[in-house]
Amino acid sequence: MKANKIVYSSNTGFTERYARMLAEETGLPLYRLEHAPRGGSAFYLGWLCAGRIVGLSRARKRHLVTGCCAVGLGESPDPEKLAAQLPGGRMFYLRGGYAHEKLHGVYRLMMEGMLAAMRRRPPEDESARAMLTAAREGADYVTRAQLGPAADWLGE
């Protein structure tokens, strides 16, 4: 195994669902970031906010993060920008979902502002329109199949 535990942060539950599935697939112990025992190697799962993987820097201070799954709403973010957040580690992307009613604090305000701006000036490309629809109606793209590459890499 390339890690001795799975550590995650989740805001609305999509990342937590992936983390639980990955722990089942690999047999590795699973911890929320704030409850994980310090030290050792870890595979981290975190959600994307404005292109940044939430909690990754804190996880890197507490553990040797060998790989990471970034969970986001869009189909596929810029892989170079994701990889740059974990130099020397293996990065994966998982499409999660959106549940506005589960957002808290500043994240809820940020999304409300972004949605208001998108309503005033609707996006022109199909990908952005799909994200707007998902944000309006909610979306759940979590599937066990998306975890395949990460589970395979961890098991090598």
Residue 62, both tokens: 């507490």
Average pLDDT over the chain, rounded to whole? 89
How many residues are present in the chain?
A: 156
- Give just the sign of the alpha carbon dihedral 92, 93, 99, 105: positive
For residues 123-144, give the mean pLDDT: 79
For residues 93-120, give the mean pLDDT: 76
Residue 26, both tokens: 């690999």
Closest CA to 145 of 94, 75, 97: 94
Residues contacting residue 41 through CB under 8 Å, at least 6 positions apart? 2, 3, 4, 5, 63, 64, 65, 66
For the ranges 38-47, 53-62, 70-79, 95-104, the lowest mean pLDDT is seen at: 95-104
For residues 37-53, give the mean pLDDT: 94
Which region, left, alpha or beta, applies to residue 31 given φ > 0 means left and ψ of -120 to 50 means alpha? beta
pLDDT at 21: 98
pLDDT at 77: 85
**6-97+141-155 belongs to which homologous superfamily?**
Flavodoxin domain (3.40.50.360)
**CB–CB of 89/63 below 8 Å?**
no
Domains of the chain by residue range = 6-97+141-155
For the ranges 28-37, 39-48, 51-60, 101-110, the lowest mean pLDDT is seen at: 101-110
Q: At what angle do helices 14-26 and 148-155 cross, to 10 degrees?
A: 40
**pLDDT confidence tier of residue 107, bands split at 50, 70 and 90:** low
Cα–Cα distance, 59 to 125 (Å, whole number): 35
Share of the chain above pLDDT 70, in %: 94
Cα–Cα distance, 98 to 77 (Å, whole number): 16
pLDDT at 17: 98
Which stretches within the chain are classed as H helix?
14-26, 56-62, 79-83, 105-120, 126-137, 148-155
**pLDDT confidence tier of residue 105, bands split at 50, 70 and 90:** confident
pLDDT at 30: 98
Residue 53: strand pairing partners: 48
pLDDT at 135: 74
